[in-house]
Chain A
Amino acid sequence: MPVDFNFMVGGEAGQGVQSVGFLLAKVFTRGGYHVFADQDYESRVRGGHNFFRIRVKDSRVGTIAEPVDLLVALNRESIDLHRKELASGGIAIFDVDKIRDISTGGELFGIPLERLAEEKAGDKVMANTVALGAALALVGYDLNILNAALVEHFGKGDIGDSNIAAAKAGYDYAQSEYKADFRKLKPVSETKRMLLTGNEAISLAAIAAGCKFMSAYPMTPASSIMEYMAAKSKELDLVMVHAEDEIAAINMAIGAAYAGVRAMTATSGSGLCLMVEGMGLAGITETPVVIIDAQRPGPAVGLPTRTEQGDLQFVLHTHHGDFPRAVLAPANVEDAFWVTVRAFNWADKYQLPVIILTDQHLASSYATVDPFDLSQVTIDRGLLFSDQEDDPSKYRRHRVTQSGISPRAFPGLGRALVVTDCDEHDEEGHLTEDAEERTQQVQKRLRKLFSLKQEISAPWHYGPKKAETTLIGWGSTYGAIHEAVDMLRREGASVNMLHLNELWPFLAEAVTDAVSKAHSSYVIENNATGQLASLIKAETGHDVSGRILKYDGRPFTPAYIAEAVRKEGC
């Protein structure tokens, strides 16, 4: 029987929900399982209610799903809120000394978590690790895999050792005290996979693509990118500047890129609002810059720690005036890596801003992926001016060419003077108000879109070639829609999906084809208005049949989508 098992760890901020959740994901990854894990947390450092869901499968998994098979409840609230989500035969474990006045049932398994932590590991703070050990005992998993992960997570020495003792205490207790049968998860293979978040995949890709400079200002859910880059700056010879604000962040990145290094910044919605002016600067000065927008619900501060796809129309239009840009929206953690590599190449080749749209769900969810094949990473810096081949005294940074691409020179690396201006400029880069020069420069910049469009890949297609219903999504909803298609097809529905992860320039032909072939088509979007549906209408003239939208700050699940499609009568 195929394995598809859901853990949930719930508690308040500060109780170690994140550690337990991450370690569960890690140990099952090491046992050869595929894992998808997401984090639901509030915008606070202590208290509140947070949970971490870890889905473990023996085949590829790209989304969370209900119901919960094993709930690790670190506080009372976690039981009250999530008990009803337990699968039949599911169990919740909790601290039996602390949560007494609870209606008992077969699904509850009380463990003296804090008492065991204190007795066996010397500090009740390790109650979460006791629970982790108990959870692994219930599913009959190998404790040694956890012990190794605990040492990596907490370090060698006393803290690591105490956590190993705490895990063993929980493990032993559950093994001897839990009498009923429960589903078992044994390690399945030695296959080495990576477990990482979307933000980590983006950071790795940036480094692999030769990004040497990042400037950013912390903002959830983008901050872990700048933190990773900063942590690796010494080892990898990178620079990450924590700028005074997002305006400085994007302008520093543009300055670094102008001087010749690959550069990026990362932020979320309202931080991107502050970067808008800089995006236009990159546009008119034709400076490559990669901008990560890890979306969260807006407007303004919105729901800081939650997820949404509400920035699509914004990033297509940020800044006044006409200039080219590219917008990419990775579908999952693996895609986030390759999309980021592509973003740096396109930024350099077409000398424009490239926006990578992710969201909290992709940015902070963990997924297992096969190790990235770095031999497939190519670095294309685009057309470069060479002092040896051409006369540097004749260099014109914004030379009008047929493709619209003017070879770049880097200041100080040769004798060519690199002149550019955020005013309209002539070919040399000096400001001009000449009508003809203005027209030529606008056209030259926009011409770059033609060749860029040739690079856009067709949307991803899944399911039968022809189906009565086509579900259309973009970005991080890929895994949930994919699984919803499977669910609906098992019920006999004629459904397929089209997924867009390279959104601009827009490949109208491919979308027109899909929309006109299907009897009905629905966009599935984590926003309130159906921003992709509006884009499809604007670019193809086609209306989709309906919009399945979710804007409560929480990600889609396959069951949610399937139910919504059923309601539409498909």
Chain B
Amino acid sequence: MVELSDYAGLKPAWCPGCGNFGILRALNRALVELEIEPHQVLLVSGIGQAGKLPHYTRGNVFNSLHGRPVPPAIGAKIANPDLVVIAISGDGDGYGEGGNHFIHAARRNHDITYLVHNNQVYGLTKGQASPTSDLGFVTKTTPDGAASPLNPVALAIVCGASFVSRSFAGDIDHLSHVIKEGITHRGFALIDILQPCPSFNHKNTFQWYRERVYKLEDESGYDPGDRKVALERAQEWGERIPIGIIFRKELPVYEEQLPALSKGPLVRQENIPARVEKLLTEFM
């Protein structure tokens, strides 16, 4: 029996009122409800306020470089597919510095869950614009207003991700549900999380999001399996912001295509010297 106390980590060093607290609670709850034990989980994070999350829960942790949580998560998943691998990133980390990894992980459909704490601003470096800052968002690095924002949800769909979702750090029930769906999904699962930053983003506040988000699952007839519909819904932003599973489809999973993994996790496979002996003869 897995309990929430199994996931009690170090005391967070986030600002009071940070959206990250809700994400941490939702993740812990999802893991407990899925009855996953900490030693079965690998949390791979990048750098930013989101990157600290793994230290505040429990599990195997690889706190990686800025922008790079996805590649080591992929490497570890291939080495040991028995691990529940969750990559944790922020909008600067994942959509800026790590943009190329995001595109290709989605395309190849690696079996990892990707949580992106999207607060539309840089927190750790104190308030600069991020790739998802709203158009015209004024910061120290964008005194004339930020350029047009990246739409990570639409991008993930276009790149071929098999699970694309958005949730809100202010709705822990919804978020933990989406995280559970993402973890159990076979393939690359993006969970873009709207995360208020009380210190540096005074526009996109809890209040601002609450007035705008609506749940796709409340809408009868929304079919997340229809890529065209999903892509259209992914463009919606402003007065109304959809949350929930925007796109979901069973697609070939990278790890399941690897012949070597059909014999079990690489990390458990023994070396067979006789096979190398045969290779030598091919050069004679």
Contacts and interface: CB of A to CB of B under 8 A. Distances in A.
A305 to B, nearest CB: 23
A423 interface: yes
Interface in B245-269: 258-261, 263, 266-269
Nearest to B264: A237
Give the interface SS of chain B, mostly helix, strand, loop or mixed: helix
B148 to A, nearest CB: 24
B271 A210 contact: yes
Contacts of A302: none
Q: Which of A192, A241, A256 has the most CB of B within 10 A?
A: A256
B138 interface: no
B103 A194 contact: no
Contacts of A232: 279
Contacts of A458: none
A238 B261 CA distance: 9
B76 A255 contact: yes
B162 to A, nearest CB: 18
B42 A254 contact: no
A255 B62 contact: yes
B65 interface: yes
Interface string A246-271: 01110111111111110100000000
Given A212-B266, A213-B78, A241-B78, A412 B63 contact: no
A431 interface: yes
A472 interface: no
Interface in B40-60: 40, 42, 44, 47, 52, 54-55, 58-60
A205 B44 CA distance: 31
Contacts of B65: 251, 277-278, 281, 422
Contact of A213 (B79, B83, B284): B79
A204 B284 contact: no
A239 B258 contact: yes
Contact of A420 (B61, B74, B82): B61
A109 B44 CA distance: 67
B266 A261 contact: yes
Interface size class of B (residues with CB under 8 A): 35 or more
B101 interface: yes
Given A244-B100, A258-B72, A258-B76, A234 B60 contact: no
Given A259-B79, A420-B61, A412 B39 contact: yes
A171 B272 CA distance: 44
A285 interface: yes
A415 B39 contact: yes
A253 to B, nearest CB: 6
Nearest to A30: B284
Contacts of A437: none
B78 A239 contact: yes
B71 interface: yes
A418 interface: yes
Contacts of A554: none
B245 to A, nearest CB: 26
A207 to B, nearest CB: 6
A289 B103 CA distance: 25
B1 interface: no
A410 interface: yes
A411 B80 contact: yes
Interface string A413-450: 11111111111000001110000000000000000000
Interface string A203-238: 010011010110100000000000000001111111
Contacts of A8: none
A392 B39 CA distance: 10
A39 B37 CA distance: 55
Interface in A134-154: none
Contact of B260 (A212, A252, A253): A212
Contact of A252 (B47, B52, B75, B263): B75
A200 interface: yes
Contacts of A257: 75, 79
A259 B101 contact: no
A510 interface: no
Interface size class of A (residues with CB under 8 A): 35 or more
A304 B44 CA distance: 36
B275 interface: yes
A83 interface: no
Contacts of B38: 417
Q: Which of B79, B80, B260 has the most CB of A within 10 A?
A: B79
Q: Which of B75, B263, B269 has the most CB of A within 10 A?
A: B75
B284 A194 contact: yes
A212 B264 CA distance: 13
A31 to B, nearest CB: 13
B36 to A, nearest CB: 11
A415 B64 CA distance: 22
A421 B61 contact: yes
Contact of B101 (A210, A213, A248, A415): A248
A253 B68 CA distance: 12
Interface string A518-561: 00000000000000000000000000000000000000000000
Contacts of B74: 241, 248, 252, 255
A245 B64 contact: no
Interface string A366-392: 000001101001010000000000001
Contacts of A243: 71, 104
B55 to A, nearest CB: 5
B39 A414 contact: yes
Nearest to A285: B62
A260 B267 contact: yes
Contacts of A259: 42, 75-76, 79-80, 83, 267
Interface in A281-312: 281, 285
Contact of A371 (B75, B267, B280): B280
A193 B44 CA distance: 47
Contacts of A371: 280, 284
Given A415-B39, A417-B61, A423-B63, A213 B100 contact: no
A215 B76 CA distance: 12
A247 B68 contact: yes
Contact of B64 (A193, A207, A281): A281
B52 to A, nearest CB: 7
B75 A263 contact: yes
A495 interface: no
B40 A412 contact: yes
17 contacts: A194-B283, A234-B260, A236-B275, A239-B258, A247-B71, A248-B74, A248-B104, A255-B44, A256-B266, A257-B79, A259-B76, A261-B79, A281-B65, A285-B62, A412-B39, A413-B267, A419-B55
Interchain residue pairs A-B with the least CB separation, the first 10: A255-B75, A255-B72, A251-B71, A411-B60, A259-B79, A256-B75, A252-B75, A421-B63, A244-B104, A259-B76
Interface of A: 29-30, 192-196, 200, 204, 207-208, 210, 212-213, 215, 232-239, 241, 243-245, 247-249, 251-261, 263, 277-278, 281, 285, 371-372, 374, 377, 379, 392, 410-423, 429-431
Given A259-B76, A417-B58, A419-B60, 10 more contacts: A204-B279, A207-B276, A232-B279, A244-B101, A260-B80, A263-B75, A410-B267, A412-B40, A413-B80, A421-B63
